[in-house]
Amino acid sequence: MTVTSQMPRASGPTETLRLVVPQTLIQTQRLLLRWWRDPLTVVQSLIFPALLLVMLNTVLGKQISAASGMNALYGSVPMVALVGVMSGSLAGAVTLGRERDDGLLARFWVLPVHRASGLAARILAEGVRILLCTAVMFAVGTALGFRFEQGFLAGVALFGVPLMFGLGFATLVTAVATYSAKAALVEAISLGSSLLMFFSTGFVPLAAYPGWAQPIVANQPMSHAIDAMRGLSAGGPVRGPLLATTAWSLGTIVVFAIPAVFGYRRASRA
């Protein structure tokens, strides 16, 4: 049975709030199943980050731990969790581009479904994917020696940091993917996210970077998120990095939310 055949049949106007929730849930299920069946998404959001974490811990773990006086996993696990979040969003953007080019978004646009359900489903599916990817990275990290040392509530809050960061990043990527038919822009964002990883406090301690680079590394959004997650897991400053992460994430959502909405509408009507 196809997804479209499962859509609730509307006996009245389709633009009613009553229909938003069931239709959003159905489209969320569709997206999650499509992502799960897409090898690119699975590799970029789960397999590659997990292998990266194992490799970093094997090659650099002891040296970083000796230099910083703290287990390197408390920096590398948060960093790789964020890498998985961003990689998954980029894979989702590629999928969105394919659906636009194949005319699937246009077909959904003319169906008797609430117009807001499509974009709402993508936001909800992104949230589910982010939490799943984060849980997998923490599981791999725990197997390597990562521990939640600050208690249950801090552990729960730890999941909220990549969720907030990831939704902001996904908003940016969605806005780009809906306006551009070229994969080059998505690839450019991928390159930028890789640079953020290598120039972050999760890759090596801040003191290991040259003096001119330290202010950049310390104040880029990924470093703030990593520092907040490190504080919530191993102890240390939390309030400052968490406020900075919140500002970066909400700022990105505010700037790119409206372009994402109009871009999705434009892509659906193309």
Please write the tens of the pLDDT for every residue from 228-257.
Answer: 999 999 988 999 999 999 999 999 999 999
Mean of all residue pLDDT scores within the chain: 86
Measured CA to CA, the distance from residue 255 to residue 248 in angstroms comes to 11
Assess if residue 89 is contained within a domain. Answer: yes
Measured CA to CA, the distance from residue 270 to residue 263 in angstroms comes to 10
Assess if residue 1 is contained within a domain. Answer: no
Q: Is the pLDDT of residue 48 over 80?
A: yes
Q: Dump pLDDT digits (tens) for 173-185.
A: 988 888 765 566 6
Percent share of the chain, pLDDT over 70:
91
Assess if residue 209 is contained within a domain. Answer: yes
Q: Is the pLDDT of residue 186 over 60?
A: yes
**SS3 per-residue string spanning the chain:** CCCHHHCCCCCCCCCCHHHHHHHHHHHHHHHHHHHHHCHHHHHHHHHHHHHHHHHHHHHCHHHHHHHHCCCCHHHHHHHHHHHHHHHHHHHHHHHHHHHHHCCHHHHHHHCCCCHHHHHHHHHHHHHHHHHHHHHHHHHHHHHHCCCCCCCHHHHHHHHHHHHHHHHHHHHHHHHHHHHCCCHHHHHHHHHHHHHHHHCCCCCCCHHHCCCCCHHHHHHCHHHHHHHHHHHHHHCCCCHHHHHHHHHHHHHHHHHHHHHHHHHHHHHHCC
Assess if residue 185 is contained within a domain. Answer: yes
Q: Dump pLDDT digits (tens) for 75-125.
A: 999 999 999 999 888 888 888 888 888 888 888 777 777 778 888 899 999
If one counts the domains in the chain, the total is 1
pLDDT for the residue numbered 190? 79
Contact 89, 96 (CB under 8 A): no
* CB proximity list for 203: less than 8 A, separation 6 or greater: 75, 76, 79, 197
Q: What is the mean pLDDT of residues 151-159?
A: 92
pLDDT for the residue numbered 183? 62
Q: Structural domain of residue 29, as residue ranges? A: 17-268
Dihedral sign (CA 146, 152, 155, 159): positive
Q: What is the pTM of this model?
A: 0.88
